[in-house]
Amino acid sequence: MLETRNLVKHFRGVNAVNGIDLAIPTGCCFGLLGPNGAGKTTTVEMLEGIQQPTAGDIRYRGEALGARFRQEVGIMFQSTALQDFITGRENLRMFGNFYTRTLPFGELIDACALGEFLDRDTRKL
């Protein structure tokens, strides 16, 4: 079960999320509905561990979010495009930080033959 209690997120004086309580059973598919600016994306980013809440509690299987959670839960981005203002290396490191790696970065690059793309501007790939 994934649960939140009084989940709050403030950005520079703006209340993006204000006191959300959720209880999502294991194996359940869920969605958040609401108008633009309602805090849906911010809430999901906190559930994924990408954003840290200003206040409140998030628990997965009764435990606070931590390394175990990131190992067991996958993230599907709304848009998976590479960031075009950084290099291939920076993109790979950024996305790689969302997952636990069993091989060092260099070995993964060699295994996928990506070395020639690392220092290129992603707009030119």
Q: Is there a contact between 92 and 114 (Cβ–Cβ < 8 Å)?
A: yes
Strand locations in 12-124 (E): 14-24, 55-60, 63-64
Give residue 84's pLDDT: 66
Closest by CA position to 2, among listed 46, 39, 51:
46
Note down pLDDT in tens along the chain; length 125 residues: 889 999 999 988 889 999 999 999 988 888 899 999 899 989 988 888 778 899 999 998 888 877 677 667 766 666 666 666 788 888 888 777 777 767 788 888 898 898 998 898 877 77
Tell which phi-psi region holds residue 63, choosing left (phi > 0), alpha (psi between -120 and 50) or beta. beta
> What predicted TM-score, i.e. pTM, was given to this entire model?
0.62
